Amino acid sequence: VYIRSMASRGNAGGIAATTGACALLLAACHYDIVLIETVGTGQSEVAIVRAADTIIVAVPPGAGDEVQALKAGVLEIAHVLVVTKSDLPAAERTANELMSSVALRAGRGGDVPVVPVCGTQNQGVSALVDALETHRKANADASLHSA
């Protein structure tokens, strides 16, 4: 099932007010994986934490100023960071900036993988799937221990 972006209709937080309910409905219909796309990357657009188990933040190469802005909000909620278009020259620098940011956060939330991907060259997709699976298993283990 693919649902095109749901308009936020002015709802603060980066997702529509009904996004969480839609995700729960799909989960109740036995869909194992439900992907939710937010409306953008703003410091206050973190409502996704209430609707998703795993948060991916995708960052294009050369986003130095954007990485600085992300530190103030969205970067803090990420479970996996993805550098898109990793075939471009600035991708390595962007990945390094993100890894530095993650290192600063390490004391407050553990390791957050930084995964470079390139869709046109089919690179990094397996590493991204592995990172997502690792996070899913960690969540499942944490749920078992807290039950």
Per-residue pLDDT of the chain (147 residues; tens, 9 = 90+): 666 667 666 666 667 777 888 888 888 999 888 888 776 655 556 677 777 889 898 888 987 666 666 666 777 888 999 999 999 999 999 999 888 887 766 555 558 999 999 999 999 999 999 999 999 888 877 665 555
pLDDT of residue 84: 95
pLDDT of residue 78: 87
pLDDT of residue 61: 92
Query: Where do the structural domains in the chain lie, given as residue ranges?
Result: 1-52, 55-146
pLDDT of residue 71: 60
Edge-first strand order for the sheet with 114-116 is: 56-59, 80-83, 114-116
- Give the architecture-level CATH label for domain 55-146: 3-Layer(aba) Sandwich (3.40)
pLDDT of residue 13: 64
Q: Tell me the residue ranges of DSSP E strands in the chain.
A: 56-59, 80-83, 114-116
pLDDT of residue 45: 64
Quote the tokens at residue 35: 């992907």
Quote the CA–CA distance of 34 and 24 in Å, as a whole number. 9
Burial label for 71, CB within 10 Å (0-12, 13-18, 19+), is middle
Helices (H) and strands (E) in the chain, counts: 5, 3
**Region of residue 80 (left: phi > 0; alpha: psi -120 to 50; beta: else):** beta
Q: What backbone phi and psi angles, to 5 degrees, belong to 63?
A: -95, 45
Quote the CA–CA distance of 140 and 147 in Å, as a whole number. 11
Quote the tokens at residue 146: 């807290």
